[in-house]
Chains A and B, each alone.
Chain A
Amino acid sequence: MTDRIRHVYRPTTLDEAHDLLRQEGAELLGFGPRVPDRLYAQAERVVDPSGLGLTEVRLVDGQLRIGANVALQTLVEHEAVRTVAGGALSAAAWWSATSALRAAATLAGTLTALDGPPEVRAVLLALDAHLAVHGAHRYDLALSTWPGLARGELVVEVRLAASAGPVALERIARAPRDEAILAAAVALTNPGVVVAAGQDAGRVRVWRFDHPEPGAITDQVMAELDVSNDLRGTADYRRAMADVLVRRALARIQEKA
């Protein structure tokens, strides 16, 4: 419901966008693979980021840099994205939504969404992705430590190590294309592994382990996974599936390694 919107702005600089987003009732246009039920319902002024660019995928200094406004479909198709981490980010974007929504949903929208499919965030967390955020000043930080956007801020870019090893993404769903009951991504680190798994309300939690010992890893993930019952499955089932999916992902990732 976009009934309250009175102004649409299309800034061409990040500073201009920041100034506009600081205003009362301002909201950035864009969404992830799950469009909010009441899209822009409270917004009186909206900021269209399309004038900012931020739609490029670049390999720079050993990093894959993905603009915040890159569509999920671009993540699926872009050769550079497909080659990093064994194509895990492309796969995650593909699993997140069907084709038309992938054309409309952006990477920034996916990262800032309050809920929705967890695959993209899980893979980015497993890859220890970093963000560039523009607000009163510009700063970079690890996605895993990001508290979310403050008022007036917007995501500019996501960065990954281009040399990142493969990520194993496992998911379970009622039907292949249904939103996952649980999804988990696992990547090898040096030493150890990193595990990212979806939790309630689209949140993704990340764990780091120095030793890739499956039993210990899944015990901890199952114990700490914050999930509840919903229309797709119960918390008990999700925890049990965390054991299965993480073990499978570990096996796959070690096989690939």
Chain B
Amino acid sequence: MTQSVDFILNHQPITLACEPGETLLSALRRARMWSVKHGCETGECGACGVLIDGRLTPTCVLLAAQVAGREVVTVESLSSGAALDPIQQAFAETGAIQCGYCTPAMILAAKALLGREPNPTETEVRDVLSGVLCRCTGYVKPVEAVLRAAARLRGDSVPPLEDAAGGEALFSGQPPEPPAPEVPGGIATQARVQTRPTLGTQSATDVVGKSEQKVDAAKLAKGRPVFADDIELPGLLHAALLTSPHAHARITRIDASKARALPGVHAVLTHLDVPRVIYASGGQSYPNPPPWDQVSLDSKVRFVGDRVAVVAAETPAIARQALELIEVEYELLPAVFDAASALADGAPVIHDEPDALKIADATRNIAATVHAAVGDFEQAYAAAAQRFERTYYSHQVQQASIEPHIVITYWDEDDRLVIRTATQVPFHVRRMVAPLIGLPVKRIRVIKPRIGGGFGGKQEMLIEDLCAHLTLATNRPVRFEYTRELEFLASRSRHPQTITYKAGLDAGGQLTALEMHIVEDTGAYGTHGLTVCTVSGLRGLSTYRCPNMRLDAKIVYTNKPVPGAFRGYGAPQALWALESLMDEIAVALGRDPIDLRLQNAVRAGDELPLAKALGEGREGFAQVVRSCGLPDCLSQGGAAIGWDRQHDPKWRIDPHRPHIRRGLGMATCMHGSAIAGLDMGAASLKLNDDGSFNLLVGATDLGTGSDTVLAQIAAEALGVPLSDIIIYSSDTDMTPFDTGAYASSTTYISGGAVKKAAEQITGQLFARAQRMLGLASTDGLALRDRRVWAPDGQAVSLAEIALHSLHTEAQEQIMATASHMSYESPPPFAGQFAEVEVDIQTGEVRVIKLVMAVDCGTAINPLAAQGQVEGGQLQALGYAVCEEMTYDAEGRLLPRRFADYHIFTADETPEIGAILVPTYEPSGPFGAKAVAEIPMDGVAPAVANAIYHAVGVRIRDLPLTPEKIWRKLQNSPVR
């Protein structure tokens, strides 16, 4: 029964015809208010927020009927054409927009605040932004953006960002001053916000090394329809997924006849309806690493949330109703929920299907194993002057990108299947989905629009196959979007690992023997299990020099939701253990933690001895460190956190809060830049009539700013401003191949491809300039300021070259395509520092400050790089202290919404510092290395080490909850 709802939308009266139960979110998106985003169904993420009578209010929990007679404002009303509202402009210029999915709601929140309080304090800004969860930024730059916008709207002088820091380091090397009392107004009075990256040297380049505004910032600030779901298709059907209520069971009977008979239902697919094709869902290069243990729909379920059936119907409501009509009978099987139980004799066999491939030992639930060694560990350990053996546990956490998995599939006019999907790996998806749906690759086109965050969770061919099956079954466009509950239940997460280290040191504190034993829980399916564990081994045995090392790892099936790729990809688990261990060793030896690490850390010129043995799913390649800024990272990070305070008893105890103890902790981090010898990216460049360039890349910007970085590389190489590069990514029909956005590869690998393509273009430009200028050769030609310059001062503009080459003489399209791969994976390095307060009566920990100093080589875009470091640290803080996928005794996931799976909000975020320590990596484009993943690696051990420093208790299992600390304190009370 449709009803009319009259209200004011963006200052205009509007009447919307709505079903009585339609949410305001749905109604607004039907009204093409694309800026209103779906992130959850409980109002907790705030991405769907709009202003209702001047207040930011979530629309997913309101009926459309509830706004009758009220005033609704969306971000679409803030600007028209190319112009931006001052708040939008501030978000764009400060780097406050990463994936941009939450940006419209944040901008509206700011709009509401500044409408009633033109001179807000930082606390007020953080409070109003608290209603919108951001998984990318750490909130540092959004807060700054609001303060700058406020100042600008007040008419205050706002210095340009380039000058904001005046070239001064954010941290002077002196212990930090206590924050001044908060007063409203200004942008310099805010204690916890720093926008400009700290760089030790000035860049000699024109575009690279500059904090250019993101190329996609304006459209994201405006809430333009850029995401996968922001499209209208006639005849669109809606998918819904029936999942298993049991952790381990066989489907003995499934009857979908009643569901199929429901009016409006167009397809119901079960394991009886789709071909059984074995695959591995991890979005990785061909051949996908083993095991291959999945099918689209199976007759057996292996975790609560596993696929049972999928429906396509005219409306989401009908699809949901159809799920209730599917009759399923299960034969329940015993289940196991931890790796040790799964390995025990007599444990239920999770993968007993005969057609699974390359499972290491299915009868023992071992999906895969990894072994590697260098030197003679046993002998060296036995001979060591000091020996340590410790076991650490890291837990299961979720990527929790605010945009859920969303796929839309449809036939195009040539009967080719189009898959429009929020994926980090469009080319892998195309290749992997083809055999599952029985279409050749050439009949599939994958379009990756903007992505609302991924963090590895979208490095998976997760639901594209089901959506495609439904389009094949119905010949209709189908939209399949996960609910937030499905995201938690049935997407991907981080692999829990139990890591036992044995370390031997000589009398001088030098590591002589190091062994790592890993038991990894890969949940119900193998997917990334092997390769994540391999990376754990590589990262856990590469940071420090040691001649005798050994890795022994098992990847084990359990009846839990499936881990996959998650920012850091095995490194956070390894470095949690390693950096806790190093702290324990330092304490035991009476050494300063930084000194001990510096003594042992790898440095430029060192070979990483296990790199050859530990490729990803195959043998790797020998690696030599060619750039290393770790000592500077540790000294600058230490200065910024006030490391000298660690021995100050007056600082550690607050006389006004006798139950509080303060502590400092640190960790070193070392990561990689792409997968050596495996990752490949390609780029195409072509010159346009006006001297601008189209840059087509298969790389996928999931919010990190990689489109901007790649365009900067092209601009730098071609001597043009960034605005002359029009970048497009990515579409398997239109753009060249790229393995995708993972393994910290895009800047290093795809950037290398862009630089190569630009260099080829340069050659063509020079040849054309030689012809036009009548030169004898191209010797001495240079690209600068949109011109090719000859040594004698003559110049010809790129626009003139374009017109000449396209229209005038010896016509040709100046264009180039290049690909790039590398047998090197140069490690970025970092020093992570944490300051905490621990309540000795409750165990409660408050992280006061995080600082990470990162050597990422040349930061192509320092502001974007800094944003990665800020946001990554906050995501890592959640991993450290509160995020956790916990289960009941039947294997049912407990946190299924953001209220229970707590991710940090703007108003509880500690001070976050990010320092970029420049080095020059010879193998990287313009000296660049990676930066996106390393911020995940060090926060957990740094916080744990700070807790130990504060109260003397060592927590070896994550997360660092108040109860765990309190229980430890009961046995070792602090005075």
Binding site for B on A (CB under 8 A): 1-8, 10, 29, 31, 34-35, 37, 39-40, 46, 48, 50, 71, 73, 98-104, 172-179, 181, 230-231, 233-234, 237, 240-241, 244-245
Contact among A1, A10, A29, A179 with B899 in the assembled complex (CB-CB below 8 Å): A179
> Which 10 pairs across A and B sit closest by C-beta, in order of nearness?
A100-B131, A5-B21, A2-B21, A99-B131, A176-B908, A98-B130, A174-B882, A3-B317, A177-B908, A103-B55
Give B589-613 interface residues, CB cut-off 8 Å to A. none
Whether a CB of chain A sits under 8 angstroms from the CB of B62 is yes
A sample of 7 cross-chain residue pairs with beta-carbon separation below 8 angstroms, ordered by A number, consists of: A8-B65, A98-B907, A99-B130, A103-B57, A104-B43, A174-B959, A175-B908
Known: A99-B109, A244-B841. A175 touches B902 (CB 8 A): yes
Cα–Cα, bound, A102→B905 (Å): 14
CA distance A240 to B842 in the complex (A): 9
In the complex, the answer to whether A181 meets B58 with C-beta atoms within 8 Å is no
Residues of A within 8 A of B22 (CB): 2
- Assess the A8–B20 pair: CB atoms within 8 A: yes
Choose the segment among B144-152, B641-649, B779-787, B960-968 that binds chain A (4+ C-beta atoms closer than 8 Å): B960-968
Neighbouring B residues of A34 by C-beta, 8 Å: 42, 899
Contact with A along B35-72 (1 / 0, CB 8 A): 00000011110100100100111100111011010000
Could you say which of B23, B65, B317, B844 contacts A172, with CB atoms under 8 Å apart?
B844
Q: How far is the CA of A35 from the CA of B46 in the complex (A)?
A: 13
B923 within 8 A of A: no
In the complex, which residues 888-944 of chain B have their Cβ closer than 8 Å to any Cβ of chain A? 894-897, 899-900, 902, 904-905, 907-908
Chain A residues within 8 Å of B896, by CB? 37
Query: Is B846 in the interface zone, CB < 8 Å from A?
Result: yes
B128 interface residue (CB < 8 Å to A): yes
B132 within 8 A of A: yes
The residues of B that contact A2 with a CB separation of less than 8 Å are: 21-23, 63
CB distance from A212 to the nearest CB of B (A): 20
List residues 951-975 of chain B with CB under 8 A from any CB of chain A.
959, 961-963, 966-967
Contact with A along B811-855 (1 / 0, CB 8 A): 000000000000000000000000000000110101000000000
A50 — which chain B residues lie within 8 A by C-beta?
Answer: 66
Q: A37-B897, A104-B57, A237-B966 are in contact. Are A174 and B1 (CB under 8 A)?
A: no
Chain A interface mostly helix, strand, loop or mixed?
loop
Cβ of B3 within 8 Å of any chain A Cβ, yes or no, is yes
Expressed in whole angstroms, the minimum distance between the Cβ of B32 and any Cβ of chain A is 22
B886 interface hit (Cβ, 8 Å): yes
B-chain residues with CB within 8 Å of residue A3 when the two chains form the complex? 21, 317, 320-321
Q: Which of B3, B109, B127, B905 contacts A8 (CB 8 A)?
A: B3
Establish whether residues A46 and B962, one from each chain, have CB atoms under 8 Å apart when the complex forms: no
18 extra interface residue pairs, beta carbon distance < 8 Å, beyond A46-B63, A99-B128: A1-B320, A8-B3, A8-B65, A34-B899, A37-B896, A37-B897, A71-B55, A98-B907, A99-B127, A100-B43, A100-B105, A100-B109, A104-B43, A175-B878, A230-B894, A237-B962, A241-B966, A244-B841
Contact (Cβ within 8 A) A179 B900: yes
Question: In the complex, what residue of chain A is closest to B116 when comparing beta carbons?
Answer: A77
* Residues in chain B near residue A103, CB distance under 8 A: 52, 55-57, 131
Total interface residues on B, using CB and 8 Å?
62
Q: How far is the CA of A237 from the CA of B61 in the complex (A)?
A: 34
| B-to-A contact residues, CB < 8 Å | 1, 3, 19-23, 41-44, 46, 49, 52, 55-58, 61-63, 65-66, 68, 105, 109, 127-132, 317, 320-321, 485, 841-842, 844, 846, 878, 881-882, 884, 886, 894-897, 899-900, 902, 904-905, 907-908, 959, 961-963, 966-967
Chain B residues lying within 8 Å of A230, measured Cβ to Cβ, are 894
Does the CB pair A100–B21 fall under 8 Å?
A: no
Contacts of B900 in A (CB 8 A): 179, 231
Give A110 to B904 CA distance when docked, in angstroms.
Answer: 23
A37 to B489 Cα, complex, angstroms: 14
Cα–Cα, bound, A245→B843 (Å): 12
A6 and B1 contact, Cβ closer than 8 Å, known pairs A100-B58, A103-B55, A241-B842: yes
Tell me whether B21 and A39 are in contact (CB under 8 A): no
* Whole-angstrom distance between the Cβ of A234 and the nearest chain B Cβ: 7
Contact B904 A177 (CB under 8 A): yes
**A119 CB to closest chain B CB, in angstroms?**
14
Residue in contact with A174 in the complex, picked from B55, B881, B966, CB distance below 8 Å: B881
Contact B132 A100 (CB under 8 A): yes
Report whether A174 and B962 are in contact in the complex, using a CB–CB cutoff of 8 Å: yes
A30 CB → nearest B CB, Å: 10
Q: How far is the CA of A175 from the CA of B41 in the complex (A)?
A: 23
User: By the criterion CB–CB under 8 Å, are B63 and A8 in contact?
Assistant: yes
Majority-rule SS of B interface residues = loop
Q: Is there an interface contact between B42 and A174, defined as CB atoms closer than 8 Å?
A: no
A7 to B1, CA, bound (A): 8
CB distance from A54 to the nearest CB of B (A): 15
Residue of A nearest to B966 (CB): A237
Q: Is the CB of A29 within 8 A of B63?
A: yes
Pairwise interchain contact A37-B42, C-beta atoms closer than 8 A: yes
CB-based nearest B residue for A230: B894
Q: Within the complex, what minimum Cβ distance (angstroms) separates B667 from chain A?
A: 20
A48 contacts which of B65, B321, B886 (Cβ < 8 Å)? Answer: B65
Option from B3, B61, B127 in Cβ contact (under 8 Å) with A31: B61
Cβ contacts under 8 Å, B878 to chain A:
175
When C-beta atoms are compared, the residue in chain B nearest to A45 turns out to be B20
**Also in contact, A100 and B49, with CB within 8 A (given A177-B904, A179-B899, A231-B886):** yes
A31 to B130, CA, bound (A): 19
Q: Is the CB of B131 within 8 A of A98?
A: yes
The chain B residue with its CB closest to the CB of A241 is B842
Determine if A29 and B1 form an interchain contact, defined as CB atoms under 8 angstroms apart.
no
**A35, B43: Cβ atoms closer than 8 Å:** yes
A100, B907: Cβ atoms closer than 8 Å: no
Minimal Cβ-Cβ distance residue in B for A182: B842
Once the chains bind, are B20 and A7 in contact (CB under 8 Å)? Answer: yes
B126: nearest chain-A partner, CB-CB: A99
Q: A8-B63, A35-B61 are in contact. Are A101 and B44 (CB under 8 A)?
A: yes
Q: With A3-B317, A104-B61 known to touch, is A233 a contact of B962 (CB < 8 Å)?
A: yes
Q: How distant is the Cα of A8 from the Cα of B105 in the complex, in angstroms?
A: 27
Query: Closest A-chain residue to B59, C-beta based?
Result: A104
Give the residue among A4, A5, A103, A234 with the most B Cβ atoms within 10 A: A103
How far apart are the CA atoms of A231 and B846 in the complex, in Å? 19
A175: nearest chain-B partner, CB-CB: B882
The complex places the Cα of A223 from the Cα of B109 at a distance, in Å, of: 45
Bound form: Cα–Cα A1–B894 in Å: 20
Q: Which residues of A contact B963 (CB under 8 A)?
A: 181, 233-234, 237
Collect the chain B residues with CB atoms within 8 Å of residue A99's CB. 56, 109, 127-131
Chain A residues closer than 8 Å to B899, beta-carbon distance: 34, 179
- Chain A residues with CB below 8 A from B321, complex form: 3
- Docked Cα-Cα span, A26 to B403, in Å, equals 33
Residues of B near A71 (CB, < 8 A) are 55
- Is the CB–CB distance between B21 and A4 below 8 Å? yes
- Nearest opposing residue in chain A for B133, CB measure: A98
Which residues of chain B are near A46, meaning CB under 8 Å?
Answer: 20, 63
Question: What's the Cα separation between A46 and B320 when bound, in Å?
Answer: 20
- Docked CA distance A102–B46 (Å): 11
A residues in contact with B23, CB < 8 Å = 2
Give every chain B residue within 8 A of A1 (Cβ-Cβ): 41, 320
Interface centre among A29, A100, A241, A245 (most CB of B within 10 A): A100
Q: Report the nearest B residue to A174, measured CB to CB.
A: B882
Instruction: Kindly report which residue of chain A lies nearest to residue B888, judged by CB atoms.
Output: A231
Which chain B residues border A178 with CB–CB below 8 Å?
A: 882, 902
Q: Is the CB of A5 within 8 A of B20?
A: yes
Q: Residue of A at shortest CB range from B839?
A: A172
Q: For residue A173, which residues in chain B have a CB less than 8 angstroms away from its CB?
A: 844, 962
Give every chain A residue within 8 A of B44 (Cβ-Cβ). Answer: 35, 98, 101
Select the residue from B895, B896, B902 with max chain A CB neighbours within 10 A.
B902
Q: List the A residue with the shortest CB-CB distance to B884.
A: A231
Chain A: CB-nearest residue to B127 = A99
Smallest Cβ distance from B33 to chain A, in angstroms?
17
The complex places the Cα of A244 from the Cα of B959 at a distance, in Å, of 23
